[in-house]
Structure 1
Amino acid sequence: MKQKSENQKAFPRFLGILVVASLIGGVLGGLSGVAGYFWEDHTAFGAAFAHLLGAASPWAMAACAAVLLGLGLYQYRKSDTAFHGWDGEDEDVMQRAEERLSWALLLDSLTVIVSFFFFNAGTAKLPQSSDGNTITLLVIFLVVIALATLLQQKTVDLTKKMNPEKRGSVYDMKFQERWWESCDEAERRQIGQASYKAYVTVSRFCPYCWGVLLLGNMVFHYGILPSAVVLVIWAVLSVSYTREAIRLGRRGQKTE
């Protein structure tokens, strides 16, 4: 009865969202068809934009990396200073220091993602054409990845100094497994809650991303591959989450 009541309460809202989404989708689909007709007569602009993006990729990558890694290094240094100046009593100082390390790792991850984007944009025309700009792009890309890895290593090492029980090296292929094994129950619950939040966020994001790419294909005619990649990511996420939930459920039954 409780489940039926919850369904009855939620269904009208769900139906309303579905109707509104359908109307919006229809309007956007019609507009995309018009835009697609317009775009077919202006493909030169798209080619020029792609060429400009490819030519600017090395310097855009370097600029973004300088900003993101600079901010990450700032957070790392502030955390390091707080840790070495800690009196051993004020726990708020250590909490803020650990939060700064988390921000440093986030900025480090964004650096890698942005670098991959610009590297992809800069090499989109390979192997059809290449020039000296490609070599510059490759060198900058390797330097940025090396610096990002170094910042990650220093951040993890400082975290291990703050928490001596932590184990693992960023250069170890099983780093995440070793780090998980060294976490206590409270930290594992925190990781689990954060992972579930990430799972829900990505599960909600994938349908919208697929829809945008579907409409974009009507305008730019780039094929179904981008949409297919989103669906593959969505499938991998759902399958891996469900399989792990089943495995943990079986293990929980065995320990009872």
Structure 2
Amino acid sequence: MTKRSKEKKKKSFVWIIIHMCFGAIIGGTLGPLIYGSYYDVISDGIIDIGKFIETYALEIYAITSVSIFVTSLVLTIIGRKKFMESVTREDEIYDEDIMSMAMGATGIAMMTSFIMFIPVIKVVFFNPHRWQSLTSFIIFLVVVLGCIVLQNKLVEDLKKAYPEKRGDVYDMSFKKDLIASFDEREKSIMHEASFKAYEITSKLIFGLTIGFLFLSVIIDINLGLVFTLLAVMATMNISYVYYCIKLEKAK
């Protein structure tokens, strides 16, 4: 480690301490004021939001799922068109930006539909209005199956341009087969993007944990969610450190 690196590390440590003290002062001063002045307002607001979600569970689920699915569909149509035009022109680097966005959007659409379908089951399926249960189930099937079909179209186009690419969307080992067919440049980009995603996700989980802990002081919420977030964050960090050590030894 160079002298400059040591000095930079010392300065970083000092700034961390300053930020921690500054945050403690602000939190210790404003926390009790906000808690005392707006306790009822915050508590009632959160309860009202919960009631609103329960009342309009189907509408929220339908609008959110269908909106993301339609966005995925539009991106897929535009992305495939631009990509195939680029392949036809034999560009040095194919135009696959929008197609990549479409692939990501289909994944988000399926994930959102799965996650939001669980609370909808609780609210809607035990509702005397059977049409709501049927509607939510139809939306779920359309979004999930539609996204799978869109992903397959995107992968098939990718194979036309890159014959060496392997993987079938309808196969459980699709992701593994596709990654195995990547070249070194693609793997390098994937690894760098994964690290960026890891950093962002770690910060998000940390922020959510602090937020839920703060809410637990104001209203009675299940702390199981907080401990779940902490478990996820711990798993991410432990896995990251473990594979850093393992890969370093392998090289």
Among candidates 98, 102, 109, match of residue 100 of structure 1: 98
State the distance in 1 between where 2:237 and 2:169 align. 27
Residue 164 of structure 2 aligns to a residue whose secondary structure is coil
Shift of 1:38: 4.1
Question: For the structure 1 residues 83 and 12, does the alpha-carbon distance in structure 2 shift closer, same or farther, using more than 3 Å as the test?
Answer: same
Is 1:194 the counterpart of 2:190 in the alignment?
no
Q: In the TM superposition, what whole-angstrom CA distance separates every residue of 1:140-168 from its partner, at most 9, and x where no partner exists?
A: 11110001111111111211211111111
Match of 1:87 in 2: 89
Paired AA for residue 102 in structure 2 = A
CA RMSD in angstroms, aligned pairs only: 2.7
Matches within 5 A, 1:71-82: 71-82=74-85
Stretches of structure 2 that go unaligned for 5 or more consecutive residues are none
Shift of 1:51: 2.1
State the distance in 1 between where 2:47 and 2:10 align. 53
Q: In the TM superposition, what whole-angstrom CA distance separates every residue of 1:88-144 from its partner, at most 9, and x where no partner exists?
A: 2x324x1x2x21221111211221233234323422447765642123212211110
8 Å CA contact 2:106, 2:147 repeated in 1: yes
Question: For the structure 1 residues 250 and 11, does the alpha-carbon distance in structure 2 shift closer, same or farther, using more than 3 Å as the test?
Answer: closer
- TM-score, normalised to structure 1, is 0.82
Moved more, 212-221 or 190-199: 212-221
Question: For the structure 1 residues 69 and 32, does the alpha-carbon distance in structure 2 shift closer, same or farther, using more than 3 Å as the test?
Answer: farther
8 Å CA contact 1:72, 1:103 repeated in 2: yes
Moved more, 125-134 or 53-62: 125-134
Question: For the structure 1 residues 55 and 167, does the alpha-carbon distance in structure 2 shift closer, same or farther, using more than 3 Å as the test?
Answer: closer
Q: Which structure is higher in RCO with an 8 Å CA cutoff and minimum separation 6?
A: 1
Matches within 5 A, 1:11-160: 11-26=13-28, 27-28=30-31, 31-32=34-35, 34-38=37-41, 45-83=48-86, 86-88=88-90, 90-92=91-93, 94=94, 96=95, 98-125=96-123, 131-132=129-130, 133-160=132-159
Moved more, 146-155 or 11-20: 11-20
Shift of 1:247: 2.4
Shift of 1:60: 1.5
Matches within 5 A, 1:158-173: 158-173=157-172
State the distance in 2 between where 1:163 and 1:227 align. 44
8 Å CA contact 2:66, 2:143 repeated in 1: no
Shift of 1:5: 1.9
Shift of 1:182: 0.9
8 Å CA contact 2:167, 2:175 repeated in 1: yes
Question: How many equivalent residue pairs?
Answer: 247
Is 1:177 the counterpart of 2:176 in the alignment?
yes
State the distance in 2 between where 1:160 and 1:24 align. 55
- TM-score, normalised to structure 2, is 0.84
Shift of 1:174: 1.8
Residue 56 of structure 2 aligns to a residue whose secondary structure is helix
Paired AA for residue 13 in structure 1 = W
Match of 1:236 in 2: 235
Shift of 1:71: 2.7
State the distance in 2 between where 1:42 and 1:58 align. 21
Question: For the structure 1 residues 234 and 81, does the alpha-carbon distance in structure 2 shift closer, same or farther, using more than 3 Å as the test?
Answer: same
Match of 1:8 in 2: 10
8 Å CA contact 1:108, 1:148 repeated in 2: yes
8 Å CA contact 1:64, 1:114 repeated in 2: no
